[in-house]
Amino acid sequence: MTSIRNSFDMVVFDWAGTMVDFGSRAPVLALVEAFAALGVGVDEAEARRDMGRAKADHVRAMFEQPKIAAAWSAAQGGAPDQAAVNRVMAALQAPMIRLAAETALLTPGAAKTADHLRGQGLKIASCTGYTREMMGAILGRAAEQGYAPDLVVCAHETPEGRPSPLMIYKACAELGVWPLSRVVKVDDAEVGVAEGRNAGCFTVGLAASGNMVGLTAEALAALDPDERLARVAEAGARLRAAGADLVIDTVADLIPALEAEVARRGSA
């Protein structure tokens, strides 16, 4: 059997849409709720557009959407500024923590995949666009289900968030892993793929479980098969365009995919 350790020393996983919360529902629903509490209606597509960024950066990006900026001005009497970002972030805290806890079910195969990698001697790190307070609702529940990474890097714990590589750099520095070419980044969002590429990692995109399809596992399975294939294929194409070296459906597919990559390198 091919050992993944022949080529890689660490895997850095995203959280929502990757290891927990199939469909990355919590951050979308929380953003919709937070804006609504401030008199601004946003839909799920608008909330998903910049998913994966640090939450404050995500809110800033949403304000760059003309419809949302106009709705804010109408509701609040002025154009959105940093104070507006701060108000949304304050309104976001409670629903984000509540929904993160409610959706903290591990995606199928997540714990088994992490265990297999550890068994081969790889380190397991994670980074997220969630703040440390938001992650507090997830870490304990994930550990109860069998997944506890060696390190968690949260939004705002580095000078810049995604698509900068700084969260990955921090993980590598704290866990003593280098070079970056021996690190795998696994993410479901385009900005997370860009983060991995910018760090110089081997980057894997997840097409079915993440932000771009945006459905629970049950809702995805209930789709007409042709529609399901089309939606997953579209997500995969966007992840490849963002720079993913490899695209798979879910984290449950990671081990055979990495084994195939190591075997390909060995025969090249």
Q: Which sequence positions are flagged as catalytic?
A: 14, 55
What secondary structure letter does DSSP report for 16?
B
pLDDT for residue 223: 97
* Residue type (1 letter), 66: P
Query: How far is the first Cα of the chain from the last one, in angstroms, to the nearest whole number?
Result: 18
77-90: average pLDDT: 96
Looking from the CA of 90 toward its CB, the CA atoms found within 13 Å total: 7
pLDDT for residue 137: 84
pLDDT for residue 267: 80
pLDDT in tens, 231-263: 999 999 999 999 999 999 999 999 999 999 999
193-208: average pLDDT: 98
Q: Give the 3-state secondary structure of residue 256.
A: helix
Residue 166 contacts residue 160 (beta carbons within 8 Å):
yes
State the pTM of this model: 0.94
Spatial distance between the Cα atoms of 98 and 30, rounded to a whole number of angstroms: 9
CATH 3.40.50.1000, the chain: domain bounds: 4-24+105-267
Assign 64 a pLDDT band (cuts: 50, 70, 90): very high
Collect all residues with Cβ–Cβ distance below 8 Å to 94 and sequence separation of at least 6: none
Could you tell me the CA-to-CA distances from 46 to 49, 59, 69, 238 in Å, in that order?
5, 11, 12, 17
Taking 80 as the threshold, does the pLDDT of residue 127 lie above it? Answer: yes
pLDDT for residue 235: 98
Residue 125 contacts residue 267 (beta carbons within 8 Å):
no
Q: In the chain, pLDDT over 70 holds for what percent of residues? A: 99
**Average pLDDT score, the chain:** 96
124-128: average pLDDT: 97
Spatial distance between the Cα atoms of 41 and 187, rounded to a whole number of angstroms: 28
pLDDT for residue 268: 66
CATH 1.10.150.240, the chain: domain bounds: 26-102
pLDDT for residue 81: 96
Assign 1 a pLDDT band (cuts: 50, 70, 90): low
Taking 70 as the threshold, does the pLDDT of residue 215 lie above it? Answer: yes
Q: Which residue has the tokens 């003593």?
A: 176
pLDDT for residue 232: 98
Taking 80 as the threshold, does the pLDDT of residue 229 lie above it? Answer: yes
Taking 80 as the threshold, does the pLDDT of residue 71 lie above it? Answer: yes
Assign 22 a pLDDT band (cuts: 50, 70, 90): very high
Question: What is the CATH number assigned to the segment(s) 4-24+105-267?
Answer: 3.40.50.1000
User: DSSP of 120-184, one letter per residue?
Assistant: TT-EEEEE-SS-HHHHHHHHHHHHHTT---SEEE-TTSSSS-TTSSHHHHHHHHHHT---GGGEE
136, 126, 241, 247: CA torsion to nearest 10: -110
pLDDT for residue 2: 74
Q: Which residue has the tokens 């919360």?
A: 21
Domain range 26-102, CATH architecture: Orthogonal Bundle (1.10)
Angle between helix axes 55-63 and 82-102 (nearest 10 degrees) is 120
User: Three-state secondary structure along 81-94?
Assistant: CHHHHHHHHHHHHH
